[in-house]
Structure 1
Amino acid sequence: MALFVKTVALLVLMAKFQVSLGVMYKVGDSAGWTTIGNVNYKQWAATKTFQVGDIIQFEYNSQFHNVMRVTHAMYRSCNASVPLETFNTGNDSYTVKTKGHHFFLCGVPGHCQAGQKVDINVPRNLSSTAPTPSALASPTVPAATTPAPTTSTAAAPLEAFKSGFVMFGVLIAVFVVSVSGVA
C-alpha cells in the first residue's frame, strides 16, 4: 500500500512539473529583436498563444538595442524613462509568471517609435485556445490565424519533450503498479 501511495505522489508531482514547463518563444523568430527588416512585433505576438510559464527570448545586438519591460502607458507612448526592468545582454529571457499583458520596448531613441515594441498577452480565460490580438491592435486589422509555434522558436521540441515526459511517467506508474502487485 505504501508503494501505491508513493506512486500516486510521484504522478501528482510529475503532472505538476509538466504543467510548469513553458514554451520558448524567440521574439521576432529568425529576425530577432531588431529595427532591420520591418519586423511587425504586433503581428508576431498575435499569432502566438502565450501561457504562464512560457519563456520569451530576446536575441539582439547589444551595441544597438536593449529590452525594457514597461507599463501599458509607457508602451503606448514609447516612454523608456523609468522601466520596470532593463535587459541589455543581447540574449535575454523573460519567464511569464502572470496572466495579462507584459509590455516590452527597445529604449534606444527612435526604436520604439519605429515599431520595436511587443505586447505579450497571456489570456485570463483558461478555456480560450486561440490567442487574442494585442489590446492595442487597430480594429481595422483582421485577426491573425493561429499557427503552431515554428521550429525556430524551439516550441516543437519542447512540446514533444512534454508529451514524451508525460507518457514516460504513465509507463513508469504502470510498471511500478504491476511490479508491486497492487490491483
Structure 2
Amino acid sequence: FLYTSALHNVLEVSEADFDGCTQDKVIGMHPVGPTIIPLTKGGNHYFFCGIGTHCDQGLKLSITVGKASAATGPDDDGAPDTSPPADASNSSSAPMLHYFAGVLGLILLPLLFV
C-alpha cells in the first residue's frame, strides 16, 4: 500500500468492521507507509484507512486469496496435459488483476483529498 503517513494508514479488520467502517476488531495496524502485507493465508482479507471518514468515503479494499493447489494430482501419470486451456475468468491472473486494481485505487484515491 502506498500512502502518506499521518494522512492515511492501513488497518486490517474483520468483515464486520469492514462492512461498517468500524474499528472494533482490528487485526493489524500499519501507520507508516509504504506497507507490504504478505497474504499467506487463503480466504478473505479486509483493509481500510482508519483516518477520519476515509473508509466511509470508500478508501477500503477486500481481497480474496485462493487456496494453494497441489502441483500434481492423484491421477497424474507424468504425461503432458492435453486438456484445453482454462477460461480466462478462472485464470490465476484474475485475483492479481483485482489486487493491482485495488492498489491503484488506494494510490489515486488520496489525491482526491489533497
What TM-score, normalized by structure 1, do the two folds share? 0.38
Cα deviation for residue 63 of structure 1 reads: 1.7
Matched, 1:120 2:82: no
2:9 to 52, 58, 66: 66
Cα deviation for residue 80 of structure 1 reads: 1.9
Look up the match of 1:129.
Answer: 91
Alignment of 1:3-152 (within 5 A): 58-124=1-67, 126=69, 128-129=90-91, 131=94
What residue ranges of structure 2 are gaps of 5+ in the alignment? 70-85, 105-114
Which residue identity is paired with 1:129? S
Q: Deviations over 1:22-66 (max 9, x none)?
A: xxxxxxxxxxxxxxxxxxxxxxxxxxxxxxxxxxxx110112100
Tell me how large the CA RMSD over aligned residues is: 2.8
- CA radius of gyration, larger in: 1
Which residue identity is paired with 1:96? L
Q: Kindly tell me the number of residue pairs found equivalent between the two proteins.
A: 80
Look up the match of 2:80.
Answer: none
In structure 2, what is the Cα distance between the partners aligned to 1:82 and 1:99? Answer: 19
Cα deviation for residue 125 of structure 1 reads: 7.7
After the TM superposition, list the runs of 4 or more consecutive aligned residues in structure 1 that deviate by more than 6 angstroms.
none
In structure 2, what is the Cα distance between the partners aligned to 1:121 and 1:98? Answer: 10
What TM-score, normalized by structure 2, do the two folds share? 0.59
Look up the match of 1:20.
Answer: none
**Between structures 1 and 2, the one with greater helix share:** 1
In structure 2, what is the Cα distance between the partners aligned to 1:81 and 1:106? Answer: 14
Which residue identity is paired with 2:91? T
Report if the CA contact (8 A) 2:48-2:55 is conserved: yes
